[in-house]
Chain A
Amino acid sequence: MIGWMRQHRQAIAAALAKLAGQKSAGLASALVIGVALSLPAGGYALLESLRALARGLALDPQLSVFLHVEARRVDADALGARLKADSRVAQLRFVPKEAALNELKTAAGLADVIGALGRNPLPDAFVIRARDTRADALDALAADLRTLPAVAHVQVDAAWARRLAALTGVGRTALLLLAALLAFGLIAITFNTIRLQILTQRDEIEVSKLIGATDAFIGRPFFYLGLLQGLAGGAVAIAIVWGGIALLNAEVRALAESYGSEFRFAFLSPAHTLAVLLFSGLLGWLGAFMSVSKYLREIEPK
């Protein structure tokens, strides 16, 4: 057992020595792996943030009911009474056109433009919070409300959020495909770098076989080399994603604040970070395994 652990320790030391020996080549393949992996990992991080945003919005069961611009206050009052009686309505808020105009003036700094209009272009509106928050119930309520007199337009605020959620679902599948393709690419990269390592160490391998090294002993440093290269690539990918999101958030902050939102892209969770590392390490190991099983056997002393 102690001997076994010592052999693995020696194999890791040998792998590190190999890694140090190849210097720029090892660094280059770690970079290639990192850049390739950062695409699906970064895409996933962005998508997860959007999904969280869409989920939050889709839960908001809010409908906006806009009246015709020329509708009078009595029409609005009649509609209000009717809505209040509707059992599907949990909460009702009336936004008179004057209040909407004032809000627009102060919020968006359009006072001059609006002043030049002469008359209020905004309609009266009701904001409704529905009792049943399921998507089809909201749609049915909206359809009913559209048939009422004096109603010009009904907007289900959650609809675009639902569309966003559906869109992120498509994005997720696309990212999965991309990740699967790149995984094959990464295995191929490691396969090839390990193959080159094996060929440059042909003499050592041949002599080792001649004087009694087992295939397992000879292969072990290469497995660790593949694993380390994969892990290094994963670390590079995480660094790229981290830097990229930090950079994006600097811009997103300004944009989100203009919408009164706190939205920021979230970094990969610790579990996902670990998953990226393990995944890339595994791919590296797999590439090394394939390379070792193919090329180590071909080197036989004569």
Chain B
Amino acid sequence: MISFSGVSKRYPGGQEALQSVSFTIDAGALVFLTGHSGAGKSTLLKLIPGIERPTSGSVIVNGQNVGALKRSAIPVLRRNLGLVFQDQKLLYDRSVFDNVMLPLSFTGQPRREAARRARAALDKVGLLRRERSNPIQLSGGEQQRLAIARAVANRPAALVADEPTANLDADSAAEILDIFVAFNQVGVTLLIATHDDGLVERYGRRVLHLADGRLIGEGSAR
């Protein structure tokens, strides 16, 4: 599903964010990516939807070499991935419902069908009753759930989440993780970056550990 081989990323200015990183995530897996801040987690995640391109090595997603994709092919790649960002990137000028409608509007499907999908996604994260609210009225945990609903609205095969539980209390964090596990149980591939080792240990899944841009440990917690 997602495969890195010998991937390095050097930013302009010489800073080496990733150094020959290699791993493969099979379809249907749930994998945690851990490491201190600055270890290169965000950079690694940005390479998957083509927000950044690798300096060397290859990133293969769904059989496509992301680094070699044409600019015009990137949007389709991103639609097949659900992205959840640390800062959520919600739009505060519209309702909860309209935030989820945004990715559904790209595909030109009938509005009724899009609305049905948006409500289904909101239902899965437990926000259906808040569809008319403005995101600003939601709690931190609810905002993160809204971001997840938007990410899964187009029913992607894989979800990539960057620090989805940062800034959340333990209960909200657990709720978010439970939602991810539920998606994984219906076959969605997940890659979740976090610096919360306690959380990772509790779920006992495969873990990729990054330090200073290198993959130094791979294994399963617990």
CB <8 Å contact, A214 and B75: yes
Asked if residues B110 and A212 are in contact (CB atoms below 8 Å), the reply is no
Contact A204–B91 (Cβ < 8 Å): yes
How far apart are the CA atoms of A207 and B78 in the complex, in Å?
12
Residues of B within 8 Å of A301, CB to CB, are 51
Asked if B51 and A3 make an inter-chain contact with CB atoms under 8 angstroms apart, the answer reads no
Q: CA A250 – CA B10 in complex, angstroms?
A: 76
Give CA–CA (A185, B93) in the complex, Å.
33
CB < 8 Å A-B pair total: 56
Check if A176 is an interface residue, CB within 8 A of chain B. Answer: no
Q: Are A211 and B108 in contact (CB under 8 A)?
A: no
Q: Across the interface, which residues of A come within 8 angstroms of B78, CB to CB? A: 210-212
Distance in angstroms between the alpha carbons of A99 and B111 in the assembled complex = 85
Question: Is B89 in contact with A208, judged by CB distance below 8 angstroms?
Answer: no
A200: nearest residue on chain B (CB-CB)? B93
| Closest residue of B by beta carbon distance from A297 | B71
A6 beta carbon closer than 8 Å to chain B: yes
CB-defined contacts of B109 to chain A, threshold 8 Å? 3, 6
Interface residues of A (CB under 8 A from B): 3-4, 6-7, 10, 203-204, 206-215, 217, 301-302
Which residues of A sit under 8 angstroms from B140, Cβ to Cβ? none
Task: Specify which chain B residues have a CB less than 8 angstroms from the CB of A210 in the assembled complex.
Answer: 49, 51, 78, 83, 85, 89
The answer to the question of B103 belonging to the interface, with a C-beta cut-off of 8 Å to chain A, is yes
Pick from B75, B85, B108, B154: contact of A3, CB below 8 A: B108
Spell out B's residues near A (CB within 8 Å). 49, 51, 72, 75-79, 83, 85, 89, 91, 93, 102-103, 105-111, 150-151, 154
Q: Are B83's CB and A217's CB within 8 A? A: no
- Which residues in B have their C-beta under 8 angstroms from that of A302? 51
Contact of A207 among B72, B89, B108 (CB under 8 A): B89
Q: Determine if A213 and B75 form an interchain contact, defined as CB atoms under 8 angstroms apart.
A: yes
- Asked whether A212 lies within 8 Å of B75 as measured between CB atoms, the reply is yes
Residues from chain A with a CB closer than 8 A to the CB of B91 are 203-204, 207
Is A212 touching B150 in the complex (CB atoms < 8 A)? no
Does B51 lie within 8 Å of A217, measured CB to CB?
Answer: no
Given contacts A3-B108, A7-B108, A203-B91, contact A211 B51 (CB under 8 A): no
Besides A210-B78, A211-B83, A211-B150, 19 other A-B contacts (C-beta < 8 A): A3-B107, A6-B108, A6-B109, A10-B111, A203-B91, A204-B91, A204-B102, A207-B89, A208-B106, A210-B83, A210-B89, A212-B75, A212-B76, A212-B77, A212-B79, A213-B75, A217-B75, A301-B51, A302-B51
Given contacts A207-B91, A210-B89, A301-B51, contact A10 B105 (CB under 8 A): yes
Task: Choose one: B72, B111, B154; the contact of A212 (CB below 8 Å).
Answer: B154
* Closest chain B residue, CB of each to CB of A211: B103
Q: Shortest beta-carbon distance, A293 to chain B, in Å?
A: 14
- Cα(A204)–Cα(B102), bound, Å: 9
Q: Shortest distance in angstroms between A224's beta carbon and chain B's nearest beta carbon?
A: 15
